[in-house]
Structure 1
Amino acid sequence: MKSLRPRSLRHRIVLWLLAFATALTVAVIAQGTVVVEYVERIVWKSLLTVELDHFIDRSREQPGYRWDDTDGFTVYVGARALDLPAELRGLDEGLHDELRIGGVSHAVLVHDDAGTRYTLAMDIEAFESDESGYELLTVVAAALLLLAVSIAAVFGVSRLLRPLSRLAQRIGTMDPERGAGRIELEPGAGSELVVIADAFNGYLQRNAQFVERERAFINTASHELRTPVAVINGAAELALQDDADPAATRHQLRRIQRSARDMEQLIMLLLALAKDPARLARTGKPLALDVLLPQIVDDHQHLTAGKSLQLRLAPPPPCEINAPPGIVRAAIGNLLRNAIENSDSGCIDIRLQPDATVVIHDPGHGMSPEQISAVYTRMARAGEGTGEPTDSGIGLELITRLCEHFGWRLELQSGPEQGTTATLQFRA
């Protein structure tokens, strides 16, 4: 069964306005009719009471007084008067409106006085005819009013909803492949549209950030994972050679072990980049940097083997941050690893500042301004031109993205053959 097309908001608003106007018009007409009937009865009763009281008073003063029938008025004395029309016999005392006597509409007042029944009838046929004409005029005026309200509702609602319709058209023409985009409102747009546009723009921004995280995850994963996989594959081939020396085999197995450890750490970082920063902030816990930093330095001492290189850590002051320990360890560790791998001799100075800033200065080869601006990966810095992938470490590009993701700040100051100073601020 074919589903019905949903009605537009304009159509619904117009229908509701017409229904409201119709109900209001009917209510006003009904109230007017009730009020007119009520006032009419008061007028008839007052008028007939005055006339009948006058007749009764004159009859008492002048026995045998006869009513000179005024045009439209007729008085009957006695409940069984011979001239009393059949329509007036047996009526209760009081006013009786719109009684048909001889096919003519009358207002009749019945009153008992001193045991005598008096009945006064007034011809109201002409008034009823005029009243019907006014009622017809009221109905026609109401119909014209509803028609005017309908026209005004159609054009007014269309004009009022035009900005909303244009907003819906802009939303409908948006294409995710052309970027996030932004909803811009026309000048003078209503506050409700501003709320809608702001909410939608916020959603577009969050969605763009989500898409960017997904894209960065895919691009970085495809780039960064290629190196440890190649190292593991190459080391395994060398270790499996028939004439492989046991010492060489152990060396290749250590390379595989380090690459597997680095890959595990890399996957952890990539998963962190794929998550929403707000969720990651909620998973953080208090972390003592002054305790963690010496551990990281000790874990990297073995990388200086075979080099005239020392790691010198200044006494760290007490410092605490709120962050995932594994991510902090990975960020500092890879900056320290890059410093070691790009230095042949000398001393690498590491210090922790009270404002949760870690500074690592190496005496290594340094980087050009172009390299710093591009934030090359460690492979591009150390293995450029060799054609052989290196077997440890994570690129500075990934560390930079990680810092941006957590709201940290990474600065690199370097010059060719002047060493590099990496400054990582955890409270940027």
Structure 2
Amino acid sequence: MRALGRGSLRRRITIWLLVYAAALTLAVVAQGTVVIEYVERIVWRSLLTVELDHFVERHRLEPGYRVAGTPGLRVYASTDARDAAAMPEVLRGLDEGLHDDLRVGDTEVVALVRDYGGERYTLAMDIEQFSREESRFELLTLAAALAMLLLVSLSAALGVSYLLRPLSQLAGRIGALQPARGAAEITLERGAGSELTVIADAFNDFLRRNRQFVERETTFVNTASHELRTPIAVINGAAELGLQPGADPASMREQLERIRRSAREMDHLVTLLLALAKDPAKLARSNEPLALHVLLPQVVEDHRHLTVGKSLQLNLEPLPECEIHAPPGIVRAAIGNLLRNAIENSDQGVIDIALDRSGTVTIRDPGHGLSPEQISAIYLRMARGGGESGIGLDLIARLCDHFGWRLSLQSDAGRGTTAVLQLGAG
């Protein structure tokens, strides 16, 4: 499992968190620097304005007044020859206003230039010590930002690892599944996150649909290999008899009839198997309007030849008009199999076939009948989708599951069986 590969989700989330943290840290530091610079200029302007106003007021009252008692503070008056000679070159020619980041020799100064009554004054203050303190503070801020970034990086790596651990465990459970050993399913601990529950439910639904697909394929292969042997054997036998030297036309026609009936049975069987091999939702889209009162007599006539050699009659009761939505071939095969089962399990008497307006087909045979235990066993085999009920009941039961039909059996031992197929329920 490549959980920690170059393209792993954990690595990508961690990298994006680090990029976000770095961008956020840079933005905070940049904003702090701008704010500090802005506040610094306001403070310098206010402080120097107060000092310069005080000096100008005193200088007017005392023309020879000089700033005293404030180290690093010097005022230059444009009308004073001594001041003009002593003014550093960097301060000459400055426009009116505040000027910082100036250097006089090895000293950083900030200067305020203002005009009072036509006379220009320049106030310069030594801020070298302040600049050194500011630089140390900036280094401390940078170190704190780097430490915070390192802490965020470590927290992101550990946090992402912790948050993705349930996902890794879920991936491990999926990897450890052994579908061949039975009905595999993903289980979660109590309190699992809603996201994991969604993933587990979706995967379990996929497993369920995959099992159904495999079951349909298995049913198709197993049933086809088993059930197609009989009609193929009949066709081969009839062909051999019909091709024997000296066979009379009547015998050849009889064998051809056997071949045709077997081919028709194979066609019905293949139709059923192909229907069961399809997805139920896709199969349901093949529905079309179907007149049952027209189709049912055709099905009865197709199976009347099975009564030859038996004291058995097929009685089709009066049919009301009835239309449903279903695939005609599937309906024909389902009803045909029920009717063939009734004929094969009856020796004499009358098989009644009835239809009501709701789309329910009822077939009553006078056959051997089934005991409650036998019916229960048939229903159990139908529920399991297998057993020895062959092409008859278990495949029809699967069709009912596909289309929402209902099949019920009522029987008494020695008194026949009644099969009720509700086609109008889908």
CA-CA distance at 1:283 after TM superposition? 1.0
1:226 matched residue in structure 2: 229
Alignment match of 2:242 (pick from 239, 243, 246): 239
Secondary structure of the residue that 1:310 maps to in structure 2? strand
Deviations 1:53-105 (A, max 9, x none): 11111222233333336212111111870110122112222111121112011
Change over 3 Å in CA distance of 1:69–1:118 after alignment to 2? farther
Residue 321 of structure 1 corresponds to which residue in structure 2?
324
One-letter amino acid of the counterpart of residue 187, structure 2: E
Q: In the alignment, is residue 256 of structure 1 matched against residue 253 of structure 2?
A: no
| CA distance in 2 between partners of 1:296 and 1:363 (Å) | 19
- C-alpha distance in 1 between matches for 2:6 and 2:272: 47
Q: What corresponds to 1:305 in structure 2?
A: 308
Matching of residue 17 in structure 1 with residue 6 in structure 2: no
> 1:132-153 deviations in whole A, cap 9, x for unaligned?
1111111111122112212211
Q: Which secondary structure state, in structure 2, belongs to the residue aligned with residue 287 of structure 1?
A: strand
**2:356 paired residue number:** 353
Q: Describe the superposition over 1:362-408 as per-residue Cα deviations: whole angstroms up to 9, x where unpaired.
A: 001234556542469xxx78xxxxxxxxxxx9533333333333232
1:29 aligns with 2:33: no
Partner SS state of residue 420, structure 1: strand
Q: Is the 8 A contact 2:111 2:122 kept in 1?
A: yes
Report the AA paired with residue 97 of structure 1.
D
1:396 counterpart residue number: 393
**Structure 2 residue 414 is matched with structure 1 residue 417:** yes
Report the secondary structure of 1:322's partner residue.
strand
* Separation in 2, partners of 1:89, 1:31: 33
Q: SS of the counterpart of 2:86?
A: coil
Residue 311 of structure 1 and its aligned partner are, at CA, apart by 1.8
Quick one: distance in 2 between partners of 1:6 and 1:323?
54
Is 1:163–1:186's contact at 8 Å kept on the other side of the alignment?
no
**Contact 2:338 2:392 survives alignment (8 Å):** no
Show the 5 A alignment for 1:63-78: 63-68=63-68, 70-78=70-78
1:214 aligns to what? Answer: 217
1:147 matched residue in structure 2: 150
Counterpart secondary structure, 1:346:
strand
| Residues 229-280 of structure 1: per-residue CA shift (max 9 Å, x gap) | 1111111112222243433222221111111111122112111111111111
2: distance between equivalents of 1:87 and 1:199?
A: 76
2:56 is the alignment partner of 1:56? yes
Residues 1:423 and 1:292: Cα distance change in structure 2 (over 3 Å):
same
**2:85 aligns to what SS in structure 1?**
coil
Distance in structure 1 (CA, Å) of the matches to 2:406 and 2:177: 34
> Counterparts of 1:76 and 1:52 in 2: how far apart (Å)?
10
Matched residues in 1 for 2:267 and 2:18: separation?
68
CA–CA separation in structure 2 for the residues paired with 1:96 and 1:259? 110
Secondary structure of residue in 2 paired with 1:271: helix
Residues 48-127 of structure 1 mapped to structure 2, 5 A cutoff: 48-68=48-68, 70-78=70-78, 81-127=84-130
Residues 55, 128 of structure 1: CA spacing in aligned structure 2 closer, same or farther, 3 A cutoff? same
Query: Cα deviation per residue 1:115-161 (whole Å; 9 max; x = unaligned)?
Result: 32211111111111111111111111112211221221122111111
Specify which of 360, 364, 367 is matched with residue 364 of structure 1: 367
TM-score relative to the length of structure 2: 0.90
User: Distance in 1 between the 2:370 and 2:412 partners?
Assistant: 5
Aligned-CA RMSD value: 2.3
Between 1:40-49 and 1:9-18, the stretch displaced more is 9-18
CA distance in 1, matches of 2:30, 2:101: 19
Q: Normalization by structure 1: what TM-score?
A: 0.90
Q: Distance in 1 between matches of 2:367 and 2:278?
A: 35
- Opposite residue 414 of structure 1, the aligned amino acid is S
SS in 2 for 1:82: helix
| Residue 405 of structure 1 pairs with residue 402 of structure 2 | yes
Consecutive unaligned residues of structure 2, counting only runs of 5 or more, are 383-387
2:185 is equivalent to residue 182 of structure 1? yes
Q: Distance in 1 between matches of 2:243 and 2:150?
A: 93
Give the aligned partner of residue 387 of structure 1: none
1:389 corresponds in structure 2 to none
CA distance in 2, matches of 1:200, 1:41: 64
Query: What are structure 1's unaligned runs of at least 5 residues?
Result: 382-392
